[in-house]
Amino acid sequence: MASLRALRPFAHREFRVLISALSISIFGSGMWAVAMVYEVIHLGGGPLELSLVATAASIGLVGFVLAGGIAADRFPQRLLIIAVEGANLAVIATITALAMFNVIELWHLAVGAFVIGVGQAFFFPAYSAMLPRILPADDLLAANGLEGTVRPVLQQAAGPAIAGILVAVLSPAHAVAGVAVCHLLAFGIVNLLSRQTPGSGGAVPDAAAPGTTAGDTAVGATGRSSLIKDLREGFSYTIRTPWLLWTLIWACLSVLFLIGPIEVLLPFVVRDQLGGDSRTFGFLLAVMGVGSAAAALATATVRLPRRYLTVMVVTWGLGSLPVAAIGFMDNFWVLGAAMLIFGATEGVGMVIWGTLLQRRVPRHLLGRISSLDFFVSLALMPVSMALAGPVAEVVPIWLIFFIAGLVCPIMAFVALFAARMMTDEIENPLASSAADPEGADTQPDSV
């Protein structure tokens, strides 16, 4: 039954262990986002000090995410995930002790945020590369849908809400302690991953995935290649794979045009056009998160579309259109509907995208390609947020949203035709019967 399709990954023990640890860890990340803010405020800090701590986390993440992808392809993914959770536990437990004894300083929080950012840079490429090793290809869409559901619910809603209650009722230090408990539980759970899991070993030769030649697999099989060579191999594969390259180009431009307006300028739209406050802004972000989670779960219950590239790109592109009208909206429910549509289409596209990476990218490159995707998505995020404010000083906010909402759909259709995606997806079907027993698809690919 389609309604049970989303639950099929739970039939596999390793996935149950992995998703349990991930869920608890991202719940802790959601708590940390709030606990860290109020710990900075508790120390007498303001926007500048908060920006310092947040920037430390961004530097750790962006600075090490490509290295994380290389590590995921060269070293046991199981051990990488265990090491990350162990490091998270150590740093958050230390910050908890310092906060409880009231001897914590701002630099402690900055160092802790940096370590957590580095951990994320290594965790998610390893997680993404491990999934196709522990699940059949048919279950990857459902697995990505489940992740796309629990992430916004736990990281954007439940985690911050619980941390906010702890801060209000007890203290920021107690909220940080809650984060430490989360990482303690996650660390204990990831140690239950089987040592015999295929993903628990280093890079090994795999059956060729779509988009791979025999030479690709042979080149990636060696663990003695230099870091530069590993990076070059990942970039080379991306450049010569049109559907991957053009999707990343589209994603890069979308981050540049959309993130800044939504994160920086939307609060002013709420204030000036709706007469709302921070609660209204928070509710709109929650609506977007709920839309993303619901759409991700719905996508997990169905089969991967035959026109998977077209569905992904067109859904993403058309989903950005409501953003073009945000600058003209003066009704809360209309703006809420726009955010719901934007979140839902993002959720659908992200589930399909994660599944395509795991089914069409060669296994020995998956960690690097996943980290490159992560890097592209993150690299221009601070640039977008830094530009949004100054641009709004000289350009009307409605025009910024209008341009952002139109550029992304246009670029989506440019990517669709430039990469010949409609032809590519027919030449490289991802039907259920195409999966080999190891979870790697084996059809030829035209790139």
pLDDT the model gives residue 227: 64
> Which CATH number characterizes residue 364's domain?
1.20.1250.20
- 104 plus 243 within the same structural domain: no
Domain termination site, one of 183, 202, 221: 202
pLDDT the model gives residue 148: 72
- 176 plus 267 within the same structural domain: no
CA 168 – CA 407 distance, rounded (Å)? 42
* Intervals of the chain under pLDDT 70: 1-6, 46-48, 50-51, 196-227, 230-231, 264, 277-279, 282, 377-379, 382, 385-386, 431-447
- 187 plus 263 within the same structural domain: no
300 part of a folded domain: yes
- 376 plus 279 within the same structural domain: yes
pLDDT the model gives residue 1: 52
Residues spanned by the domain of 114: 2-202
pLDDT the model gives residue 183: 92
At 320, the amino acid letter reads S
Enter the tokens of residue 19: 């998703």
89 part of a folded domain: yes
Enter the tokens of residue 333: 């429910």
- Cα→Cα distances 93→87, 96, 102, 187, 386, Å: 10, 5, 14, 13, 33
- 253 plus 143 within the same structural domain: no
Helix orientation angle between 278-300 and 332-360, rounded to the nearest 10 degrees: 40
Number of domains in the chain: 2
Enter the tokens of residue 269: 């739209």
pLDDT the model gives residue 294: 83
pLDDT the model gives residue 198: 52
In tens, the pLDDT along 267-326 reads 778 878 888 765 677 677 778 878 887 888 788 787 878 888 899 989 988 998 999 999
Which residues, including other chains, have CB under 8 Å from residue 136's CB and lie 6 or more apart?
Answer: 435, 437, 439
- 167 plus 265 within the same structural domain: no
- 11 plus 93 within the same structural domain: yes
pLDDT the model gives residue 272: 83
